Amino acid sequence: MSKFSIQDFKGVVPALLTVFDKDENIDEMGMRQLVSFLLDKGVNGLYLTGSTGEGFTMSSIERMRVVEIVMDEVAGRVPVVVHVGAIGTKLSIELAQHAERAGADGISSVPPFYWRFNEDQIVKYYEDIANATSLPMIVYNVPLVGLLGMNAIKRLAQIENVKGIKYTALSLYEITQIKDEIGEDFLVYSGADEMAMAGLLAGADGIVGSFYNVMPELFINIYNAVQNKELDEAKRLQKEAVEIIMYALSYPSFYALMKVMLKWMGINAGYCRRPFENVTPENEAIYKEGFKVLKEKYEIHDVEFLKHL
């Protein structure tokens, strides 16, 4: 049973990686270690089985198992939202209903994808899933599967259980517009890691992102600096984040690189599933040296993984 209100789902929220072993099986101990690491760092919640979690490479049974492992490890310490998006509404509903049984505090989904669905079909998809459980739902605006216009967002906000939006588009002025036209109680989560500060300044209630897995302390410091109106400090920290992220994104499979970055800190984050490429020992050595150069060039002293190079 859910422990938190969706209004508690704020602050810094990693879009959790899924830990696989070399044979591409879910690594339960690795999952637990990663969750424990992030909770010890002080993150405010977790977002499961989305794009960063390689959710679309897993079967429904596997996605459900990840939810069960994480919910058990979290043990009610922070709110958890489960991404239930799938290529069919029936599958999404099954995942949503399982998330509710597992005790999740909310659900979320990308819009229906692959086929070019129109606005009415997208709204109906979200309506069907939202009505299938009593959990609050976070809809999703992301360029990868097609951006929603303001009209669609307003229509979605009228669905009873839809309580917010994960906003990964770069047109951050719309965060302000959403808050103004829909209302302050409609939650907005900024989803672009490299624009976390800007998203918060635009009015986002929280930030949900991939790189929060590997340097949560940096984004917690950005969040706190914005809350305390220490904007010069927030700007400095965001610049550090951008430099690290841009370098990491130069690797073809940055999810795999993030798992190696965690390994440097003694966290077993395992491997990615194909067709994602894993990091070879040769590339690991190259990127380790590259991060050392980055650390010295930008005098970055407050990011833990850089201390383990």
For residue 300, which phi and psi values (nearest 5 degrees)? -90, 115
Q: What is the CATH number of domain 6-230?
A: 3.20.20.70
241 with 194: CB under 8 angstroms? Answer: yes
Q: Where are the domains of the chain?
A: 6-230
As given in the structure block, the two tokens for residue 59 are 């079967």
Task: Tell how far CA 175 is from the center of its chain.
Answer: 18
Note the pLDDT of residue 89.
97
Note the pLDDT of residue 141.
79
Note the pLDDT of residue 152.
87
**Calpha distance 1→148 (Å, rounded):** 31
* Residues with a known catalytic role: 140, 166
Torsion of CA 100, 104, 107, 109, to 10 degrees: -100
Query: Splitting the chain (309 residues) into consecutive groups of 10 residues, what average pLDDT does each group show?
Result: 86 98 98 98 98 96 98 98 96 98 96 86 95 96 64 92 90 88 94 95 96 98 98 98 97 95 98 96 96 97 95
Note the pLDDT of residue 149.
78
What is the crossing angle of helices 173-181 and 150-157, to 10°? 40
Which distant-in-sequence residues (6+ apart) come within 8 Å of 41 by Cβ? Answer: 216, 217, 220
Note the pLDDT of residue 169.
75
